[in-house]
Structure 1
Amino acid sequence: MSNINQLIIEGCFNVESATPKGTYFQNLSDQSVRVKFSAAGQWTYNPNVGFHSAAGHPNYPKGTENYKLPGSPEGSLIVRRANGSFQYVGTEATIELNPMEIVSFVCNDDGVWGEVGGHYDNQGCISVIWALQMQDKYAQLRDFLTAEKWQEADEETARLMLKSVGRDFEGSFERDELSKIPCSLLKDLDKIWLFASQGRFGFSVQKEIWESVGGSPQTEDTAIAEGFGNRIGQYTNGNWVYYDDLTFNLSAPIGHLPALWWRRSWVNAGFAYPIDSLVQRLSTCKIS
């Protein structure tokens, strides 16, 4: 199994010392993340004292009460959090950002006059490199697909889908829950399956087949469901193939997988052919 279970995302931005509102940065994730910020370059909050790094001027290590962050070096790089408080960054800091939080990086200067402060005579720019590590929730799925363990990958797909609506792996979907699966999750899963199977398996493939046999986003017709099952190799000779007897390799018919999530929901939740509910969600999410 691969040891790669984290996604490393990085980028950079500049902070002008003369900009009192600073440079904005947002955590676009729906979860808290730890971001490492590394600052390089020189600027000054006062031309009379010379240029210095983002750590602040070495001769003025503690800003007075008039500064945005009193007690931190004058001219240092600081960040304004969403709650209005300030935090020291300097040349390097790791900060935990709340879901969707927007922060602003700014020079620690005199703030007694509000946003204007003493920034009018500031000079220079600091370059900030940011990097965050997020757990790759698809790592297990990628490992299974890379190893061509198609049934295990199918089970992992069902687990991720069920987890997204608050159900455990042994559960099944109720009708209205399929409309609550995040579009981002469905898009990611579809792309991963398409890539691993060279375009043979995935939700978008199944959606195309469903529509080709006369299905629509709101179709619960036995004949259409059986036609769909026949096309993907799961309904033969008037019977649905047992899940454990499906073909878990690339020789399976196009659209054969993923299957566990809807086969279990069909049996356990008591409503006919939940694939139509997923097709409706895929249409809403513009996945095709």
Structure 2
Amino acid sequence: MNTRDLQIFIKIADYNSITRAAEDVQMTQPAVSSILKRLEEELGYALFSRRGKWLIMNAQGELFYRAARKFLEEFSHVQEGLYLENYPQEEIVIQICRNSDKLYSLLGRFSMANPTIRLILQRGKASQQENYRKADFTISLEKEHNPRKQFYPLEHCAALYALIQKKNPLSSRHWLRLEDLKQESFVFLKNKDDSIPERVYQACIQLNFHPKVSVFTDSIINKYLAIRCGCGVGLSFDNEVSFAPRCSDWAVIPVMEPLSVEWVGLSWFEDKLSPAGRKLLTFIKEEA
């Protein structure tokens, strides 16, 4: 077992498919299958169960997935430390709890202007912070006022979009209301710990619309695969819909519902901000 084996296992788990994982890592399907078989033999138990053409992690697979991801993250940090031992470089760690197109654009320009500052982006929720490096900034929605925490808005969530497979008659509509979707089934994200579903689901409930859920998944890739295969309709906010792959198999249609405007922004603790963090903050305020 080596780090490459773990990386390939994670690809298989993320795609629920050996074929798609093989395409991603540019290996043959038999080679990826062989690595998975060897991994399971070393561990002494199976990691997946098969459902049709899809591979679904079993309970042992879920545990091994979390352990493998954590190990690879820690190993990456060790590698980075060795690589940079003789090359002093400042770091800024940003915890991504909400997607923001504008943030990625700003960070790209900041990196080009400041090549000696390394940006580390990590996914996750604040409740999982112990599994991550301590963040300098968090991209999130601030629901409760924290007098010690600063917040700078980047973009708003003010519109809803439906992702509908082209075979569905509704895909030809120019716009929809949630009422038009009451007979449809839906695909939503949900955390691995089986906690609250993604925020767009909660927005539906607040609008007194109770969607029939056909698929809950903890992977954004699996969400898009399920929508593409016709397992259900997907919903996304305007600041997230651009992350959906450009796909000829579905239509992206505005859903005309009154939403309360919420701002996705950058939050930080003023007394814990590093010089590099202050440089990034100044840059963002000037550019945004």
Q: Indicate the TM-score class for this superposition, using the shorter chain for normalisation.
A: under 0.3
Query: Which structure's relative contact order is higher, taking Cα pairs within 8 Å and 6+ residues apart?
Result: 2
Larger Rg: 1
The TM-score, its normalising length taken from structure 2, stands at 0.19
More helix per residue: 1 or 2? 2
The TM-score, its normalising length taken from structure 1, stands at 0.19
